[in-house]
Structure 1
């Protein structure tokens, strides 16, 4: 078997319309497909599927599961990304700070799913974690 990369990430959301607005306006996502309870987005070449789960409850931070999704942002555009979060009054949960070989800032989508913008590479991060 030869896994070539991540194909897509599916995120459960409580309201497809508010999540669509968030991912389009904050992450610059492009709509690939839009259904009644799902939407497929392209975010910098990453395929995200948002699926509406009306009766779902937010995950407890101590549960097993995905902790966060991190997107690469260039050093050059990182200050603009942080400024955008602040202008849109999106609560920053960590940062902006220099950590793991790059600049990082973390924030939540409307349902509390944690998202990170990170400027470093895997190689830079490993140098810092050794």
Structure 2
């Protein structure tokens, strides 16, 4: 078997309209398709699907689940990305900090899903991991 990478990420959301505003207006995702309860977005070549569950409740940190996922941003663009998050009063959970061979900032979407902007690579992180 030869896996070539992650094909897409599907995120459960409680309010599709609110989430679309966040992912498109704040994070800069491009709308590819909008259905009744789902949307497909392109975010720098990463395919995201937002899937609406109106009565969904956030899981607490004690559940087994995906902790977060990170988007690559360039070192040059990182300060502007941080400014955009602050300008839109996005909930920042950690950073901005230098960590693991790059700059990092963690934040949540409107449903509390944790996301990260990171400037480094896997190999930079492994050189700097302690």
In the other structure, the counterpart of 1:39 is: 39
Mapping of 1:5-24 within 5 angstroms?
5-24=5-24
TM-score by length of 2: 0.97
In the other structure, the counterpart of 1:61 is: 61
Q: Which runs of 5+ in 2 are unaligned?
A: none
Q: Which runs of 5+ in 1 are unaligned?
A: none
Superposition deviation, residue 128 in structure 1: 1.2
Equivalent-residue separation in structure 1 for 2:84 and 2:23 (angstroms) = 13
Superposition deviation, residue 55 in structure 1: 1.5
Equivalent-residue separation in structure 2 for 1:118 and 1:48 (angstroms) = 18
TM-score by length of 1: 0.97
In the other structure, the counterpart of 1:25 is: 25
Equivalent-residue separation in structure 2 for 1:73 and 1:55 (angstroms) = 33
Runs of 4+ in 1 over 4 A off after TM superposition: none
**RMSD across aligned positions (CA):** 0.8
Equivalent-residue separation in structure 1 for 2:11 and 2:119 (angstroms) = 23
Superposition deviation, residue 112 in structure 1: 0.2
Equivalent-residue separation in structure 1 for 2:92 and 2:57 (angstroms) = 22
Q: Is the partner of 1:67 in helix, strand or coil?
A: coil
Equivalent-residue separation in structure 1 for 2:3 and 2:27 (angstroms) = 26
Mapping of 1:89-104 within 5 angstroms?
89-104=89-104
Equivalent-residue separation in structure 2 for 1:3 and 1:126 (angstroms) = 21
Equivalent-residue separation in structure 2 for 1:56 and 1:87 (angstroms) = 28
Superposition deviation, residue 37 in structure 1: 0.5
Q: Is the partner of 1:86 in helix, strand or coil?
A: helix
